[in-house]
Amino acid sequence: MKRRLFLKSAMAGSAVATAVGAGLLTPSMVFANSADFKAVSDAAGASAAGAGKGSFKFKAPKIAENGAVVPMTVDAS
């Protein structure tokens, strides 16, 4: 069992090392720009502040017969 874990970890490590070496994973692509994220986050928070309690209604079955497909409706007013 430990051999499988070692091989799995070695393959994952080599895949990441190859991606970094090829320039596919650069810090600018991996980490979000914090200034842009803060601006978008503040705008989303401001727009959500106007929503009052009870303005969303969810309708879904208590027990889903099929876990892959669960019918659900959302009403926002």
Query: CA 43 to CA 71: how far, in whole Å?
Result: 31
| Residue 28 pLDDT | 64
Query: Could you list the residue range(s) of the whole structural domain that residue 20 is in?
Result: 1-34
| Residue 9 pLDDT | 92
| pTM (two decimals) | 0.34
Tell me: the pLDDT tens digits for 49-67?
Answer: 666 666 778 888 888 888 7
Q: How confident is the model at residue 11 (pLDDT cuts 50, 70, 90)?
A: very high
Type of residue numbered 68: A
- The answer to whether residue 57 sits within a structural domain is no
Q: Is the Cα dihedral 45, 50, 54, 59 positive or negative?
A: negative
Q: How many domains does the chain have?
A: 1
| Cα 23 → chain centroid | 24
Contact 29, 39 (CB under 8 A): no
- The answer to whether residue 45 sits within a structural domain is no
Q: How confident is the model at residue 12 (pLDDT cuts 50, 70, 90)?
A: very high
| Percent of the chain with pLDDT strictly greater than 70 | 78
- The answer to whether residue 5 sits within a structural domain is yes
| Residue 61 pLDDT | 86
